[in-house]
Amino acid sequence: MKKVAAWLAIGLVSSPIGVAPMPGLAQGATPLPALENPIKSEKNPPGDIPDNQVFIDYQSPLGFTIKVPEGWARREASDSVVFSDKYNTIELTVAQRAGSIDLNNVKQKEVADLERSGKAVRVSRVKPTSLPSSSAIVVSYGSNSEPNAVTNKAVRLENERYFLWKDGKLVTLTLSAPFGADNADQWLLMAKSFRWR
């Protein structure tokens, strides 16, 4: 009996094939720490623009104004501007276009270009809409993001792309966020705030 107690004390038991460590114990090992409490989930799931987000007017030298979230990073180019916060992006590009744009144009050309050049693009809807500044065509679609520069991780995005045309100028407004983010109200606020200058 003393022999068995001695074996148990050092975490070993005898078996037909020799001496084996007892499950859950290792010689010289420290006891497992107590389980940690779950961390509370964030008020705003990844990708959600907070309900109390402040929006500011951005006046572009490219001929438009739009409300954008305060504090987001901004990157400007000769024909575009991008606002971003993690995987959330707002991108506006400007191009010359002689004729106006309509539902058939978008379905035949712009959607085809998007599916060809995007990452795993799946278009779910193409429809005309009215904004305070002008009519527009909006394309709703899913796509994969570019990999994060730090983590190299890509996520699935949901996107809305608005095509707005006036006087030979086409503005493409693309709103993107991680799939499942609840940004419908904020996206509509930004789209409705668009004004030609």
As to burial, measured by CB atoms within 10 angstroms (0-12 exposed, 13-18 middle, 19+ buried), residue 7 is middle
In this prediction, residue 176 carries a pLDDT of: 97
- In angstroms, rounded to a whole number, what is the distance separating the alpha carbons of residues 95 and 79? 7
- Taking only the tens place, the pLDDT of each residue in 58-81 is 999 999 999 999 999 999 999 999
Contact 161, 89 (CB under 8 A): no
Quick check: is 45 in a domain? Answer: no
* Range of the structural domain that residue 192 is part of: 55-196
CATH number for 83: 3.40.1000.10
The two three-digit tokens of residue 130, written as one number: 């009215």
The reported pTM is 0.76
How remote is the C-alpha of 52 from its chain's centroid? 19
So what's the pLDDT on residue 25?
A: 46
Reported as a single tens digit per residue, the pLDDT across 129-154 is 999 999 999 999 999 988 888 888 88
pLDDT value for 142: 93
Is the residue at 33 inside a domain?
Answer: no
21 in any annotated domain:
no
Domain-located, residue 172: yes
161 versus 12: the higher-pLDDT residue is 161
User: Which phi and psi angles does 34 have, rounded to 5°?
Assistant: -65, 150
Question: Tens digit of pLDDT for each residue in 158-182?
Answer: 999 999 999 999 999 999 999 989 9
Residue 23 lies inside a defined structural domain of this protein: no
Per the structure, how many domains does the chain have?
A: 1
User: Percentages helix, strand, coil for the chain, rounded to the nearest 5?
Assistant: 15, 40, 40
Looking at the domain assignment, is residue 145 inside a domain?
yes
pLDDT grade, residue 187 (50/70/90)? Answer: very high
10 lies in a domain? no
Q: Which residue has the higher pLDDT, 129 or 10?
A: 129
Domain contains 155: yes
Interval 84-98 mean pLDDT: 95
SS (H, E, C) 93-131: EEEECCCCCCHHHHHHHHHHHHHHHCCCCEEEEEEEEEC
Band (pLDDT 50/70/90 cuts) for residue 34 is low
pLDDT category at 7 given cuts 50, 70, 90 is: very low
